[in-house]
Amino acid sequence: MPSGRNAARSRGIVTLHVATRAARYDACVDRARPAVKDSSFVGRVSDFERALELVASSHVVTLLGPAGIGKTRLATRVATDAADRFEGVWFVAAAEARTEAALVANIASTLGVSTGDVAHAIAGRGEVLVVVDNVEQVVSSAAEVVARLARTAPRARFLVTSRERLRIDAEACLELEPLDDADAARLFADRAARARGRFSSSETEARAVAELVRRLDGNPLAIELAAARTKLFSPSELLARIDQRLDLLTGGPRDRSPRQSSLRGAIDWSWDLLSDEEKRALARCSVFRGGFLMDAAEAVLGVNAIALLESLVDKSLVRRDARFALYETVRDYAREKIGGDAADAESAHAAYYASFAEARAAELNGPNALDATSAFRADLDNVLAAHRRLREKDAVLGARVALALNVLIAMRGPISMQRDLLDAAVADASSDSEVLVRALTARVRGLLLRGDTAARRPTRSAPSRSRGAKRRSARSRSKRARASTSSEVEPIAGARTSTRSSRFRRSSATARARGTRSPCPLRCTSSRASSTPRARCTNARSRFSATSATAEPR
């Protein structure tokens, strides 16, 4: 039998171990945020199932994602569902921890043991699940603590939520993506109904909701904050104010922390955890439109771009799929922080994409045309942004970018964009004769191919008329046309015959001088030697006269 301190420890473990599973689950729920516990869970069916699989098969699972993406809510849902599969489930709120000692103290407090007994307490409980929520602010220390606990308690499972990876051997990561369009719209409707008592939308407002949640990056926190604003604004009015999202989306539940009560507060939390070099890199990334590749990042970020971009990806501030990209909300926030570095970042961005556009345009008619077209389309937003910036700083280079864009736009449209680009190129290239000639040539060619020279002339808008007036006008025009037909046919025919008669007389005179036969002026197969004005023709249906346009049957 153990004695002394070991005996006390054993008695403590036994006492906790015999606690009912329901009591242990109640302790877990009590330490979760009331807002998370009470709110309904919308969407993320595949993420939920995948998280359960990882928890069953991996010692350490980290739920990753940017601010407000729903990591805590998913972790709580997984803990709730997995309660019957483990001997115990504990939820550790670590958002306030700033040091390793503070994190260990939080875990010990949750387990009800001293800080020195945490590892042995977890190991003695067998198959348990420990949820450690929000460790990005102490991620290095959290990695050491969790790795140590996982080695000491091999039967235990650890579910961690963070905006950054732990980077330990036992870690399996599940990165949470934005909600899909359908789930995002459902979440908005659910939270709007909760804020207003009820929520129903017309077809127009439903389209506004769909666009609104898309512009909010499918971020659950942003969607919930927007839904709370439906007490004051309709979805269409919210959408019209989307560019003010950082100041508009505030006023979350009072029982949440400040970083979960506003969109700006959530991003402030991530921003404050960055180094000065990382802050500068993220701010400079805000000059990109759409996605970008590593070559472009190196041109804009400068030295150490690869390491900085990797760090920002790990911290869930930059997305990485086929291309790098920033969420719209993060880009707006970073743009506010760029300060005096904006001009240099924009110049680097414009110079890179000017060279990129001219290189891709040269390849569009070569063997690599397909790849060049795909690359051009993927970076079209960036090239257009570079063109706008160059028009203010280097007009001639801007004109060259417009001409490069014209090669792509001429193939894919829209025509209105092509016309605007070429007009801008002509206006900007006035100081460079070579570029000006290219711009004028491209514009004329575009006009000819489109056949819209007449369409570019201003037209006078006719006054609105009733349907009856339009019908009467059409009948009047028809009558005038029939009346003028009989009077116009004879003069026109006479004029044509007069011309033919003159040609016939000249040809007849030439024929008499040469002693040959003259051809029929009606181009039939016969010839005639006579120059008489009423000479007969072999044309079976007409008889030529130099003085009239009458046709007599033969």
Whether the predicted pLDDT of 2 surpasses 80: no
Confidence category of residue 540, pLDDT binned at 50, 70, 90 = very low
| Residue 549, number of CB atoms within 10 A of its CB | 18
Whether the predicted pLDDT of 38 surpasses 60: no
Whether the predicted pLDDT of 393 surpasses 60: yes
Q: Which residues contact 79 (CB under 8 A, 6 or more apart)?
A: 28, 89, 91, 129, 131, 159
Burial 493-520 (b: 16+ CB within 10 A, else e): eeeebeebbeebeeebeebeeeeeebbb
- The reply to whether 45 falls in a domain is yes
Would you say 122 and 149 are in contact if contact means Cβ atoms under 8 Å apart? yes
Phi and psi, residue 106, nearest 5°: -65, -45
Q: Sign of dihedral through CA atoms 258, 259, 265, 270? A: positive
- The reply to whether 433 falls in a domain is yes
Whether the predicted pLDDT of 31 surpasses 90: no
164 and 57 share one domain: yes
Q: What letter would DSSP give residue 41?
A: P
Distance CA 408, CA 417 (A): 11
Residue ending a domain, choose from 175, 196, 231? 175
Least confident of 1-15, 231-245, 307-321, 351-365: 1-15
Q: Which two tokens stand for residue 418?
A: 């092509």
- The reply to whether 445 falls in a domain is yes
107 and 171 share one domain: yes
209 and 156 share one domain: no
| Residue 362 parent element (H or E) | helix 342-363
Mean residue pLDDT of the chain comes to 79
Distance CA 474, CA 495 (A): 30
Range of the domain at 538: 492-507+532-554
Would you say 449 and 415 are in contact if contact means Cβ atoms under 8 Å apart? no
Would you say 212 and 238 are in contact if contact means Cβ atoms under 8 Å apart? yes
112 and 52 share one domain: yes
HEC string for 420-486: HHHHHHHHHCCCCHHHHHHHHHHHHHHHHHHCCCCCCCCCCCCCCCCHHHHHHHHHHHHHHHHHHHH
Q: Which residues contact 300 (CB under 8 A, 6 or more apart)?
A: 284, 285, 287, 288, 345, 348, 349, 352
Phi and psi, residue 89, nearest 5°: -135, 125
Q: Is the model more confident about 35 or about 366? A: 366
Q: Is the model more confident about 500 or about 193? A: 193
Q: What is the pLDDT of residue 433?
A: 87
114 and 204 share one domain: no
Q: What is the pLDDT of residue 20?
A: 34
- The reply to whether 399 falls in a domain is yes
Would you say 189 and 213 are in contact if contact means Cβ atoms under 8 Å apart? no
Maximum CA extent, the chain:
148
Angle at 328 between CA 324 and CA 334, to 5 degrees: 85
Whether the predicted pLDDT of 551 surpasses 50: no
Residue ending a domain, choose from 152, 175, 198? 175
146 and 194 share one domain: no
Mean per-residue pLDDT, 221-231: 91
- The reply to whether 467 falls in a domain is no
**The residue to which tokens 């007969």 are assigned:** 536
Quick: pLDDT tens for 437-485.
988 988 888 777 666 544 444 444 445 555 566 566 666 666 665 555 4
Distance CA 29, CA 47 (A): 21
Structurally, how many domains does the chain consist of? 4
Q: What is the pLDDT of residue 418?
A: 82
- The reply to whether 240 falls in a domain is yes
Q: What is the pLDDT of residue 334?
A: 95
Query: How are strands ordered across the β-sheet holding 60-64?
Result: 88-93, 128-133, 157-162, 60-64, 171-175
230 and 263 share one domain: yes
Quick: pLDDT tens for 151-189.
999 999 999 999 999 999 989 999 999 999 999 999 999
Could you give the C-alpha distances from 124 to 4, 27, 153, 537, in angstroms and in order?
A: 18, 18, 8, 123
Would you say 65 and 221 are in contact if contact means Cβ atoms under 8 Å apart? no
154 and 192 share one domain: no
Could you give the C-alpha distances from 522 to 503, 526, 528, 537, 543, in angstroms and in order?
A: 11, 10, 12, 8, 9
Q: What is the pLDDT of residue 533?
A: 45
Angle at 276 between CA 271 and CA 277, to 5 degrees: 110
Residue ending a domain, choose from 251, 269, 287? 269
DSSP result, 288-316: --S-B-HHHHHHHH-TTHHHHHHHHHHTT
Q: What is the pLDDT of residue 342?
A: 93
- CATH at residue 23: 3.40.50
Would you say 51 and 172 are in contact if contact means Cβ atoms under 8 Å apart? no
10 and 156 share one domain: yes
Confidence category of residue 400, pLDDT binned at 50, 70, 90 = very high
169 and 20 share one domain: yes
Q: What is the pLDDT of residue 449?
A: 67
Q: Pairing mode, if any, of strands 527-528 and 518-519?
A: antiparallel
201 and 82 share one domain: no
Q: What is the pLDDT of residue 140?
A: 93
Q: What is the pLDDT of residue 532?
A: 46
42 and 120 share one domain: yes
Q: Is the model more confident about 361 or about 6? A: 361
Q: What is the pLDDT of residue 13?
A: 31
- The reply to whether 539 falls in a domain is yes
Pick from 385, 380, 307, 301: nearest CA to 341: 301
Q: What is the pLDDT of residue 282?
A: 96
- The reply to whether 279 falls in a domain is no
